[in-house]
A and B are shown apart, each in its own frame.
Chain A
Amino acid sequence: MNASTLWIFLPILTGALLLFLRNQRWVAFVAGGLSFLLALTAWLLPIETTLALGSYAFKLSSTFEILGRRLILTTNEQPILTLIYGAAAFWFIASPSVDKAHRLAPLGLVQVGVLVAALAVEPFLYAALLIEVAVLLTTPLLLSGRDKPGRGLLRFITFQTLAMPFILFTGWLLRGIEADPGASALIRQAAILLATGFVFLLAVFPFHTWIPLLSEETSPYLTGFVLWVFPTSALLFATGFVDRYAWIRTAPQLPQILSTVGALMVAGGGLMAAFQNNLGRIMGYAVILETGFSLLTLSLLKTQGIDLFFLLFVPRLLALALWALCLDILRQNAASLSLQDVRGLARPWPFASVGLIFAHLSMAGLPALAGFPIRLAILEDLATVSLSVAAWAFIGSVGLLAAAVRTIAILVAAPAELAWEARESWPQRLFIILGGLALFGLGAFPQWVLPLLNRLPAIFEHLGG
Chain B
Amino acid sequence: MLLNWLAGVLILMAGIGLFVSRDWRWNLGAMALQYLAAFWLVHASWPLAASAVKLITGWMACAALGMTLASARTEPGKEHGWRDGGFFRLLAAVLAGLVAFILATRLSAWLGIAPPIAWGSLTLMAVGLLLIGITTQPLRVILGLLTLLAGFEITYAAIESSELVTAAQSVITLGLALTGAYLLVAAKEETPQ
Chain B CB within 10 A, most for which of A144, A146, A147, A157:
A157
Q: Decide if A165 is an interface residue (CB 8 Å cutoff).
A: yes
Knowing A129-B169, A143-B186 touch, does A67 contact B141 (C-beta < 8 A)? no
Give Cα A147 to B159, complex, Å.
Answer: 41
Q: Decide if B156 is an interface residue (CB 8 Å cutoff).
A: yes
Across-interface contacts of B179 in A (CB, < 8 A): 136, 139, 157
What's the count of A-B pairs with C-beta under 8 Å? 82
A129–B168 touching, CB < 8 Å:
yes
For the complex formed, measure the closest distance between the CB of B165 and the CB atoms of chain A, giving whole angstroms: 7
Q: Chain A contact residues: over half helix, strand or loop, or mixed? A: helix
For the complex formed, measure the closest distance between the CB of A134 and the CB atoms of chain B, giving whole angstroms: 10
For the complex formed, measure the closest distance between the CB of B188 and the CB atoms of chain A, giving whole angstroms: 9
A158–B171 touching, CB < 8 Å:
no
Chain B interface size, as a band, is 20 to 34
Please give me the residue from chain B that is nearest to A137 by CB atom: B175
Instruction: Map CB proximity to B onto A149-171 as digits: 1 under 8 Å, 0 otherwise.
Output: 10101100110011011001101
Across-interface contacts of A164 in B (CB, < 8 A): 172
The number of chain A residues with a CB under 8 A from chain B is 33
For the complex formed, measure the closest distance between the CB of B8 and the CB atoms of chain A, giving whole angstroms: 20
**CB neighbors of B among A115-141 (8 A):** 126, 129-130, 132-133, 136-137, 139-140
Knowing A139-B182, A154-B141 touch, does A67 contact B187 (C-beta < 8 A)? no
For the complex formed, measure the closest distance between the CB of B156 and the CB atoms of chain A, giving whole angstroms: 6
Across-interface contacts of A68 in B (CB, < 8 A): 162-164
Instruction: Map CB proximity to A onto B153-193 as digits: 1 under 8 Å, 0 otherwise.
Output: 00010011011110111011001101100110111011000
**CB neighbors of B among A147-206 (8 A):** 147-149, 151, 153-154, 157-158, 161-162, 164-165, 168-169, 171-172
Give Cα A157 to B141, complex, Å.
Answer: 9
B138–A154 touching, CB < 8 Å:
yes
A143–B182 touching, CB < 8 Å:
yes
Knowing A157-B145, A161-B149, A169-B156 touch, does A67 contact B182 (C-beta < 8 A)? no
Instruction: Map CB proximity to B onto A35-78 as digits: 1 under 8 Å, 0 otherwise.
Output: 00000000000000000000000000000001111000000000
A158–B141 touching, CB < 8 Å:
yes
B136–A151 touching, CB < 8 Å:
yes
Give Cα A168 to B158, complex, Å.
Answer: 13
State the B residues within 8 Å of A (CB). 132, 136, 138, 141, 145, 148-149, 152, 156, 159-160, 162-165, 167-169, 171-172, 175-176, 178-179, 182-183, 185-187, 189-190
Beyond contacts A154-B141, A161-B145: 5 other A-B pairs, Cβ-Cβ < 8 A, are A129-B165, A133-B168, A136-B175, A136-B178, A157-B145
State the A residues within 8 Å of B (CB). 66-69, 126, 129-130, 132-133, 136-137, 139-140, 143-149, 151, 153-154, 157-158, 161-162, 164-165, 168-169, 171-172
10 nearest interchain CB pairs? Answer: A136-B175, A129-B168, A67-B164, A165-B152, A69-B164, A67-B163, A149-B183, A139-B179, A172-B159, A148-B187
